[in-house]
Amino acid sequence: MLQRKFTEVVVVPEEELERNRAEWRSTTVLVRSLGRSVPVDWVAREIKRVGRLGYEVECFTLMDGFIAVRFANEGDREAAMANDPWMVAGQLLAMDWWRPNFIPGEEGVGRVVVWLRLPRLPLDYWKKPTILRIASSPGIPLAKDGVTKQGRRYGFARVKIELDYSVPLKPGTLVRGCSEGAGELF
CA distance 83 to 50: 9
Q: For the chain, which domains are there?
A: 8-101 (3.30.70.330), 121-185 (no CATH)
CA distance 122 to 116: 16
Regions in the chain scoring below 50 on pLDDT: 182
CA distance 136 to 152: 23
Model pLDDT for residues 39-61, shown as the tens digit of each residue? 999 999 999 999 999 999 999 99
Instruction: Give yes or no for a contact between 130 and 141, defined as CB atoms under 8 angstroms apart.
Output: no
CA distance 94 to 11: 33
Q: How distant, in Å, are the alpha carbons of 28, 69, 77, 116, 140 from that of 19? A: 15, 19, 20, 40, 33
Instruction: Give yes or no for a contact between 125 and 172, defined as CB atoms under 8 angstroms apart.
Output: no
- pTM of the predicted protein model: 0.68
